[in-house]
Amino acid sequence: MKILVVDTDSERVLAFKVLESAGHLVQAVNNCSEALDFLERVVFQILVLGPRQTSEESINAIAEWRQSVAGKTVPGIVAMEPGTGTQGEGIDHYLSLPLQEEHIKTLVGLPFLSPEQEVFDNSAALEICDGDENLLGDIIKIFLQAGPGRIEKLTQGMKDNDWRMVREAAHLMKGSALNLAANALCTATSSLERAGEAGNPDHIRFWYEHAVYEYRRLENHLQGLLGCAPEVS
* Cis? peptide before 98, omega within 30° of 0: yes
pLDDT value, residue 84: 44
Q: Is 182 left (phi over 0), alpha (psi -120 to 50) or beta?
A: beta
pLDDT value, residue 89: 63
Report the topology of domain 122-226: Four Helix Bundle (Hemerythrin (Met), subunit A) (1.20.120)
Rounded to the nearest 5 percent, the helix, strand and coil shares of the chain are: 60, 10, 30
Query: What Cα–Cα distance (Å) separates residue 6 from each residue in 1, 11, 32?
Result: 17, 13, 7
Name the pairing type of β-strands 46-49 and 25-29.
unpaired
Task: Check: CB of residue 120 under 8 Å from CB of residue 218.
Answer: yes
pLDDT value, residue 11: 95
**CATH H superfamily, domain 2-109:** Response regulator (3.40.50.2300)
Q: pTM of the full predicted structure? A: 0.87
pLDDT value, residue 124: 94
> Helix 183-198 and helix 201-226: axis angle, to 10°?
160
Q: Pick from 20, 21, 10, 66: which is nearest to 43 by CA?
A: 66
pLDDT value, residue 228: 63
Q: Give average pLDDT by consecutive 10-residue segment, the chain, 233 residues.
A: 95 95 94 91 92 85 85 88 56 91 94 89 93 94 95 97 96 94 94 94 95 96 78 43
Topology match between the domains 2-109 and 122-226: no
Question: What is the spatial distance between Cα 23 and Cα 14, in angstroms, rounded to a whole number?
Answer: 15
For residue 152, give every residue at least 6 positions away whose Cβ sits within 8 Å of its Cβ, in sequence order, or none: none
Q: What residues does each domain of the chain span?
A: 2-109, 122-226
Task: Check: CB of residue 107 under 8 Å from CB of residue 3.
Answer: yes
For residue 17, give every residue at least 6 positions away whose Cβ sits within 8 Å of its Cβ, in sequence order, or none: 26
